[in-house]
């Protein structure tokens, strides 16, 4: 998968929106796809998640997150993987957080549909999953957050072969 977005962190005041849509418990395994500095992962641990995994393609972000985890004494509860999310096994997740552009989400949709267990909660910031009906949508800080629960309800425009036209230079920035 191309690198869709240079790391654009979720603003601190919006982090709790993820947890409003998908509260975590001691039974949850949380994955953050495009985890950056680990801010969502660390918050998930604070809120009681059993285990957390961050995946990011940027080695600098992964190293920063690993160092932060070690300094906080959380390196036994969290792991940060440097790699392409499409090459990672997501089947252990009970909650997934995503902040990618629309074309990145289109690449992930088939993986979600085949790999995730029923009841897995997916919270996506800003962009929806084309062909899926969200369970709930929240607007916060001029952004939308979408909650999906697997298996998702499909919309009438569901296309089993989503178009994936993104390239490595398909960047998107927010002010």
Angle at 97 between CA 151 and CA 59, to 5 degrees: 130
**33, 11 contact by CB (below 8 A):** no
- Tens of pLDDT, residues 95-140: 999 998 888 888 899 999 999 999 999 999 999 999 999 999 999 9
At 5 the pLDDT is: 57
At 134 the pLDDT is: 98
Burial label for 129, CB within 10 Å (0-12, 13-18, 19+), is buried
At 124 the pLDDT is: 97
Task: Give the Cα separation of 72 and 7 in Å (integer).
Answer: 22
Distance of CA 26 to the CA centre of its chain: 19
Give the mean pLDDT per block of 10 residues along the chain (175 residues): 61 94 98 95 97 95 96 93 94 96 87 97 95 97 95 91 53 37
At 7 the pLDDT is: 66
Structural domains in the chain, CATH included, are 20-154 (3.40.50.150)
At 103 the pLDDT is: 80
Predicted TM-score (pTM) of this structure:
0.89
């Amino acid at each position: 998968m191309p690198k869709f977005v240079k790391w654009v962190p979720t603003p601190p005041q919006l982090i709790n929106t993820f947890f409003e849509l998908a509260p975590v418990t001691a039974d949850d395994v949380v994955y953050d796809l495009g985890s950056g500095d680990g801010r969502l992962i660390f918050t998930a641990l604070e809120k009681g998640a059993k285990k957390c995994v961050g995946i990011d393609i940027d080695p600098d972000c992964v190293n920063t997150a690993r160092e932060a985890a070690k300094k906080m004494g959380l390196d036994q509860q969290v792991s940060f993987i440097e790699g392409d999310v499409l090459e990672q096994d997501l089947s252990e997740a009970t909650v997934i957080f995503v902040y990618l552009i629309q074309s990145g989400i289109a690449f992930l949709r088939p993986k979600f549909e085949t790999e995730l267990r029923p009841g897995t909660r997916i919270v996506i910031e800003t962009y929806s999953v084309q062909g899926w009906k969200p369970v709930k949508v929240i607007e916060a800080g001029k952004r939308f957050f979408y909650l999906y629960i697997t298996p998702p309800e499909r919309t009438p425009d569901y296309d089993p072969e989503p178009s994936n036209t993104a390239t490595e230079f398909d960047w998107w920035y927010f002010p």
